[in-house]
Structure 1
Amino acid sequence: MVALVVLDMAGTTVRDDGLVERAFTAAIAEQGVAPDDPAYAPMLAHVRATMGESKISVFRHLLAGDEARAQAANAAFEAAYGDLVDAGHCAEIEGAAAVVEALRTAGVRVALTTGFSRATADRILAALGWRSLADLTLVPAEAGRGRPHPDLVLTAVLRLEIDDVREVATAGDTTYDILCGLRAGARTVTGVLTGAHAAEALSATGATHVLPSIRDLPAALDL
């Protein structure tokens, strides 16, 4: 039995199309690092490698633990990303909403999770008309820690009163999504190829399945 499916947002159910990198570029520029700065390329490489992680954690690393600068950069990032969403640069991965609806119709609970803030997550959900699509939406601040820690999945288990973590399936497009699901003890931890990381990286991290898209998930779960 699968009682709960925990799905990532950007790159898994929501098309990113480079919005994270564009928002990062705007945010780090406010900290004095322009694209032609020698420090920019290594920073962007870290952002790409840690897709799925809580964004404040990423900025804390990039800015050497300077909390004030990290908070300012994170606020600028969230504002830039939200503005892009409001400008219409936001779309679902084809078939994602139908997958969520089909899972819920089959009696499976669904949680949408993200590394963004609640304000940004809500802007995405509003832009897509998804406010009531899933049973639950979660951001790191509501769970304790973001990915790759297991907190988002375990918080969904607790809030939706799932009896056994072995009744949980997760899906995401990054290695951090895979680690989060594995560390939470999920029965099935699926990587999808519509986002940040390639099949080789997802498999090497321990994904139980690697699928072209979230559209393929119900069949993989025999639902």
Structure 2
Amino acid sequence: MVGTTIWFGNYVMEAFRQAFNESGIRLKDKEIKAIRGRSKRDAIAGILQVHSGSKALSMIETVYGTFQKLLIDSVSEQGVEPVPGTDDVFGWLRDRKVKIALNTGFDRHIISMLLDRVDWSGIVDAVVCGNDVERGRPAPDLILKAMEQTGCTNPSRVLAVGDTRFDLLAAKNAGVLGIAVLSGAGNDEQLKACPHYAIIPSVADLHKVLS
């Protein structure tokens, strides 16, 4: 969702970096980039396991709570906006009776705040968040939950669009077609290395693939 349909600047990565800094852990850029597309709680747990070993379990909630607070503060101060062309594509899909579901590794209260700012109420049919499912990407749970909420039982009629390799791997694991966009975290080389139906510049070009 973030990087695919919502432009979020560098808020997420900076909040991630600072949350670990406040716990005395200095992350390398490659460690931060590697978590893009994953459930943030899972990513924090994995990094803490590497850096803190036996202390990791006791630190997860503290680091995650700090991360969420920093992110909320950034959004409140600087705002967010749709990726250019997203509103037009949503309108194009709705004109054709195509259901629209958003899924994300963030928790519900953060996503509710983002959606309030882009005003997609009445446009999006379902929103599935990281705390709605047992497993985050690359597991298929987010996509399968979105299918359940939109009444879709045929994976061959589902497209999952995302900007990271974890998005594409989740699409493969759900048995749906994965489309990558270059407007977010992943570059062309990274995304081409994953199973995909198409790679497009941004979600604004989605109608060209579907046409």
Return the match for 2:196 from 207, 212, 220.
207
Aligned residue number for residue 57 of structure 1: 42
Matched, 1:176 2:135: no
Equivalent-residue separation in structure 1 for 2:127 and 2:78 (angstroms): 21
Stretches of structure 2 that go unaligned for 5 or more consecutive residues are none
3-state SS of 2:75 partner:
helix
Of all paired residues, the percent bearing the same amino acid is 30
Structure 1 residue 145: Cα displacement: 1.2
Equivalent-residue separation in structure 2 for 1:105 and 1:144 (angstroms): 33
TM-score by length of 2: 0.93
Aligned residue number for residue 30 of structure 1: 22
Aligned residue number for residue 119 of structure 1: 109
Matched, 1:102 2:92: yes
User: Taking structure 1 as reference, are residues 25 and 102 closer, same or farther at Cα in structure 2, changes over 3 Å only?
Assistant: same
3-state SS of 1:109 partner:
coil
Aligned residue number for residue 85 of structure 1: 75
Whose helix proportion is higher, 1 or 2?
2
Q: Deviations over 1:50-76 (max 9, x none)?
A: 211000001101111622311111111
Paired residue total: 206
Equivalent-residue separation in structure 2 for 1:16 and 1:207 (angstroms): 24
User: Taking structure 1 as reference, are residues 30 and 164 closer, same or farther at Cα in structure 2, changes over 3 Å only?
Assistant: same
Matched, 1:40 2:27: yes
Contact 1:97-1:133 at 8 Å conserved across structures:
no
Q: Deviations over 1:93-125 (max 9, x none)?
A: 001122122212211001011111111111111
Moved over 6 A (4+): none
Equivalent-residue separation in structure 2 for 1:133 and 1:68 (angstroms): 40
Contact 1:178-1:190 at 8 Å conserved across structures:
yes
| CA-atom RMSD in angstroms | 1.3
Bigger relative contact order, structure 1 or 2 (CA pairs below 8 A, ≥6 apart): 1
Structure 1 residue 143: Cα displacement: 2.2
Equivalent-residue separation in structure 1 for 2:126 and 2:87 (angstroms): 14
Stretches of structure 1 that go unaligned for 5 or more consecutive residues are 1-8, 34-38
